[in-house]
Amino acid sequence: MITKLFGFNGGVKPATHKDDSARAPIIRAPLPARLIVPLRHNTRAIARPIVEIGQHVLKGERIGGAEGVLGTACHAPTSGTVVDIAEHTMPHPSGLPTLCVYIEPDGEDRWIERKPFDYANCGCGDRQAVLDYLRDSGIVGMGGAAFPSHIKVGTKRVAHTLVLNGAECEPWITSDDRLMRERADSILRGAEILSDLLGAQRILVGIEDNKPEAIAAMREAAQKLPVAEVIVVPTLYPAGGEKQLIRVLTGIEIPHGKLGTEFGVQCFNVGTAEAVHRAFDLGEPLLSRVVTLTGNVERPGNWEVLVGTPIENLLELVGPRADTDRYILGGPMMGFALPDLSVPVVKGTNCVIAASQALFPYPPPEQPCIRCGACAEACPADLQPFELYWYARSKNFGKAQEYHLFDCIECGCCAYVCPSNIPLVDYYRFAKSEIWAREREHDAADAARERFEFRNYRQEREKAEKAARLAAKAAETKAKLAARGEGETAKAEDDPKKALIAAALARAKAQKESVAPKNTDDLPPEVQAEIAEIDARRKPLTGEEVAAQEAAEPSAREAGEAAAHARDEDTKKALITAAIERAKEQKAKQAERRETAERDDK
């Protein structure tokens, strides 16, 4: 079937430089001494560690659980021991660190038990189970953005067309080219699974015309899949952009702020399709990817590399030349210079280019914008790049958003044609990161306010519920008292709290009266009489008894005072008598001692 091709505005035609690496078949890279597996796939998709230091893991075992809506799982690329869980520099222009799991391979490369997943008859008939399997297999976009595939597949079957992206329009990169040449059947099998999940009736495979071998291989494999059609598109950068490829293949123009799914079209990279096939048919999570190593090297080619392999280990395979002065991750149009060669390969890493001044001379100094409009003519997203540049530079982010900043795919066409050598994409990335940071702060403030308002609401609700419970209890008590005829307690009917207190006192009084001592049974009559006498004394006095007691109190008090006075007089007389007797006795003794002394003198 001959399909009509459509064009898109803008685009550039840089030199491709693909021949050197495209000739080399895919080779499995050797196992490094240590793997550093990041728990972050892109700026918004992260995972949480679920292993501990010292734990032995098998190849394909989950080491990171999906965190949040955009999160996907991470797996051990080989068997070995977790030796550390710490931050390491990300392969990102910012050079910021992220949490990584360090694995020391044991060299055995032992797999977990691999089980294929029958997505058509998964048992529960729940579509969410299929999406969860995609998420837990760690499947993300292999084109570079690493966007989670379970989000792109979505919860509903809404796409009538699946576009398979094999354009690979960036210069120097040939990883998708070699993948299509060598694994065409696996790619189309993954595309078939994705089309079933999306409900798509046709599969369009877009490949640029500078990959004849890949086109031939994919067309041969497509003969087994009637709904698939391989379409050759002109070589024009960035024909591999999602919206641009959909436009070229289907003629559908995706407006600003919209996604292809809203128009019945979904797009996946050929590498993603191959990963989907391995996950569903072989039970293998995403552990490796094909990476192009090229540029100023002796042996350019394509290697299948485990996720987490440090870049510096790969460079030993290709032999960088002596005049290499930096390394670019990705293509020369959208890539960036590596901040550190120890950064690991991630799922979105498709190319590493050794750069030298001969191949990639440093750009001349930035000059002021002359408003020539060349950037607008080259922009494939129909934006006004020079306006975005001014607003981003002046930090007028609101106006930048009004000019559709987030529709920029950062392809670099504007900077490529800019006669003033302005790094326009860097300005756009800065503006986007600032807007995202402010949105995060705004969301955090909204969440705090919602928590505070809910706390107030909860307290008011609990207070109202408590008042209602008290009122119901008071009404119930009132009804019971009314039934018993206890009018005095019912006087407190106007106050529910008083009514409850009165009811409690009444119950305590009744309980006290109902209690009878049990240790006085079978006592002798005299003991019973004594107890009765004691109880009589304990019995509260009547009013007459109290008056009689009060009347009798003066005479008793006087009698007591008289008795006390008499006791004092008797005591006093006794003391005087005793003193007189002691004086007499002492006087007699003195007289006796004098008579005895006189007789002795004679």
| pLDDT tops 90 at residue 591 | no
Which residues participate in the annotated binding site for [4Fe-4S] cluster?
369, 372, 375, 379, 408, 411, 414, 418
- Ramachandran class of 251: left when φ > 0, alpha when ψ lies in -120 to 50, beta otherwise: left
- Which percentage of the chain shows pLDDT scores above 90? 54
| pLDDT tops 60 at residue 319 | yes
Q: Highest-confidence range of 117-121, 138-142, 569-573, 583-587, by mean pLDDT?
A: 138-142
Which residues participate in the annotated binding site?
369, 372, 375, 379, 408, 411, 414, 418
Question: 459 falls in which pLDDT band (50, 70, 90)?
Answer: very high
Torsion of CA 41, 47, 51, 54, to 10 degrees: 40
Quick: pLDDT tens for 112-157.
999 999 887 775 557 888 889 999 999 999 887 788 998 888 867 6
Please give the backbone phi and psi of residue 419, each rounded to the nearest 5 degrees, phi first: -75, -15
How many angstroms separate the CA atoms of 76 and 55, rounded? 12
- The pLDDT assigned to 295 comes to 93
- The pLDDT assigned to 516 comes to 64
- The pLDDT assigned to 378 comes to 94
- The pLDDT assigned to 491 comes to 54
- The pLDDT assigned to 473 comes to 86
Quick: pLDDT tens for 51-67.
999 999 999 999 999 88
Which residues 6+ apart lie within 8 Å of 171 measured at CB? Answer: 14, 15, 16, 17, 18, 237, 331, 332, 333
| pLDDT tops 80 at residue 211 | yes
**What is 204-250 written as a DSSP string?**
EEEEETT-HHHHHHHHHHHTT-TTEEEEEE---BTTTSHHHHHHHHH
Quick: pLDDT tens for 470-496.
888 888 887 877 776 655 555 555 566
Look-up of token digits 């977990």: 112
Interval 396-402 mean pLDDT: 91
How many angstroms separate the CA atoms of 31 and 303, rounded? 12
- The pLDDT assigned to 339 comes to 82
Strands (E), 158-315: 161-166, 202-208, 228-233, 265-269, 288-295, 301-306
Q: Which fold has domain 18-30+127-345?
A: Rossmann fold (3.40.50)
| Range with lowest mean pLDDT among 218-232, 400-414, 587-601 | 587-601
| pLDDT tops 90 at residue 9 | no
Which residues 6+ apart lie within 8 Å of 470 measured at CB? Answer: 496, 497, 500
User: Would strands 228-233 and 326-329 be described as parallel, antiparallel, or unpaired?
Assistant: unpaired
Asked if 417 contacts 374 with a C-beta cutoff of 8 angstroms, the reply is: yes
What is the amino acid identity at position 368?
P
| pLDDT tops 80 at residue 522 | no
| pLDDT tops 60 at residue 318 | yes
- The pLDDT assigned to 486 comes to 55
| Range with lowest mean pLDDT among 1-5, 410-414, 449-453 | 1-5
| Range with lowest mean pLDDT among 238-252, 430-444, 507-521, 550-564 | 550-564
- The pLDDT assigned to 542 comes to 65
What is the amino acid identity at position 556?
A
**What is the chain's mean pLDDT, rounded?**
87
How many angstroms separate the CA atoms of 173 and 161, rounded? 27
Sign of CA dihedral 291, 292, 297, 300: positive
Q: Report residue 199 CA to chain centroid gap.
A: 31
Asked if 344 contacts 375 with a C-beta cutoff of 8 angstroms, the reply is: no
- The pLDDT assigned to 262 comes to 86
| pLDDT tops 80 at residue 547 | no
Which residues 6+ apart lie within 8 Å of 21 measured at CB? Answer: 172, 174, 292, 293, 294, 300, 301, 302
Interval 174-185 mean pLDDT: 95
Q: 595 or 488: whose pLDDT is higher?
A: 595
- The pLDDT assigned to 82 comes to 96
Q: 481 or 559: whose pLDDT is higher?
A: 481
Interval 445-462 mean pLDDT: 93
Asked if 503 contacts 477 with a C-beta cutoff of 8 angstroms, the reply is: yes
- The pLDDT assigned to 546 comes to 64
What is the amino acid identity at position 74?
C
Nearest 5°: CA angle at 547, between 546 and 549? 65
Q: In the chain, what are the helix, strand and coil shares in percent, each to the nearest 5?
A: 45, 15, 40
Which residues 6+ apart lie within 8 Å of 260 measured at CB? Answer: 159, 163, 242, 243, 246, 252, 254, 266, 267
Q: Residue ranges per domain, the chain? A: 18-30+127-345, 371-463
Interval 320-337 mean pLDDT: 91
